[in-house]
Amino acid sequence: MRGNPMNATPRAISNAPPPEPKLEPQAPQRTSASRFVKPKVLMGEVAAPKGQQIAAERDAVRTFMQARRLQPSVWAAKAGVPASELLAFLSGHARSLPPQTAAKLAAAANATEEQMFGR
């Protein structure tokens, strides 16, 4: 029998070296006071600059309307297109005008689509 007879649990004898203590990984260094994780890639860095082109077209149509003194509802009625399509584009709810609508609007203003979109 190994160990002290007064102790109920015997002690194991081993010739193996004692296990090395495991190092705990250190927490990453915080660079911000915020408790929220900062995204590695910002959405503005990965999105194509298509939004800037759309905004430039929208501004060109507004400038075109001001230069020719066109009101959206009157211009749309003259072109025979729903005013909501033009207003949705001008307000930013629609990303673009359908090609047929753009052609009708340009024809109603006696201009080309290139002039209308400032291309």
11-65 pLDDT tens trace: 667 777 877 888 888 777 766 677 777 666 666 655 555 667 778 888 899 999 9
Burial of 102 (0-12, 13-18, 19+ CB in 10 A): buried
pTM for this entry: 0.55
Q: 12 φ, ψ to 5°?
A: -85, 135
Angstrom distance (rounded) from CA 20 to CA 1? 29
Give the count of alpha carbons within 13 A of 88, CB side only: 12
Percent of the chain scoring above 90 in pLDDT: 18
Stretch among 22-26, 55-59, 85-89, 92-96 having the lowest mean pLDDT:
22-26
As a whole number of angstroms, the distance between CA 20 and CA 72 comes to 78
Going by C-alpha positions, the residue among 70, 77, 76, 79 that lies closest to residue 89 is 76
DSSP letter at 7? S
Residues constituting the chain: 119
